[in-house]
Amino acid sequence: MNIHRHLFACIALLLTAGTAAAQSQESDWVSYRDAYRKMVVFEKYGKAKNLIQHQLQVMPRERNAALDGLQLTLVGSATRLDLPLDATGRAVFPLQKAAYDDNAVLRLNRKAGQYQFRPRVSIVVQPDGLYDAADLRSACEQVLAYERYLNQSLSGKRCVGVRFVFSKGAGDPGVRLRKGDLAALPSIDGAAFPDDPYQGFRVVQYRFGDSTAQIVTPSAPLAISAIYE
C-alpha cells in the first residue's frame, strides 16, 4: 500500500513539473535580472569598443516568424518602461538597478517561447553613409574580440567582412564600393546577423580587400554586422 502511495506521489510530482514547464514555455515574459547580468558584461569590458554597440535582441526562433507589431516592455511592481524595437528586433537595454531590485520582467505582447533573447553586438552606423574599409575591419575586429572574450571557441576565427542590412521592401539599397570609381555591390535576401533564423532583410556583404577603399550607402542601413570565419 505504501508503495502505491509513493508511486502515486511520484506521478503527481512529474505531472506538476510538466505543467509548470509548459506554463513557462507559454509565458510572455523573461527575467530582467537574467538579461541584466548578461548585458552588464559589455559595460565592464575594458578593451576597445568605440566602433561597436551592444543591445538586447528579440529574435524569432522560426525562419518565417514576423517581427511586425512585436512590443517589449519592462514591467515590475514599481517599474514600467516601453523598450522600442528596431526593425531587426534590437532595443537599447536600460541598466536600472531599481528595476533589478524590483525583480522586473521583460514582457512581450506575444509568447516569449517563440523568440530568443540575446545580447547583440553590432557595428555603429555612420550618419553620412561613408565607411572606410580600414575602419570596418577595425570594427569587425572589435566585435570578434568581444565575442572571443565571451566564448573561447572563437579563438580560431578571423574577420573577413561585414554585412549591411536593409529592409527587404526598399528594393536595391544601392551600396557602392569606391576605389577610384563607384562599383555596385550586389544585394541578396538574408538575415541581419549570421546566426539569425529570420531571413526577412536585404543584405549587402562586403569582403575585406583593399584597405584604402570606401563603401558608400545612399540610405542608412538598419544594422551592420561582422562576418568572421
Q: Give the pLDDT confidence of 113-138 residue by residue, as tens digits.
A: 889 899 999 999 999 999 999 999 99
Q: Report if pTM > 0.75.
A: yes
Q: Rg of the chain over CA atoms, in angstroms?
A: 22
SS3 112: helix
Distance between terminal CA atoms of the chain? 63
Query: CB count, 10 Å around CB of 206?
Result: 20
Query: CB count, 10 Å around CB of 220?
Result: 14
pLDDT of residue 64: 67
Q: Is the pLDDT of residue 174 over 90?
A: yes
Under the banding of pLDDT at 50, 70 and 90, the label for residue 8 is very low
d(CA 199, CA 192): 7
Work out the average pLDDT over 205-218. 94
Domain regions of the chain by residue span: 29-120, 126-228
User: Residue 116 has which C-alpha cell?
Assistant: 530568443
Q: Give the pLDDT confidence of 34-69 residue by residue, as tens digits.
A: 999 999 999 999 999 999 999 999 988 877 677 889
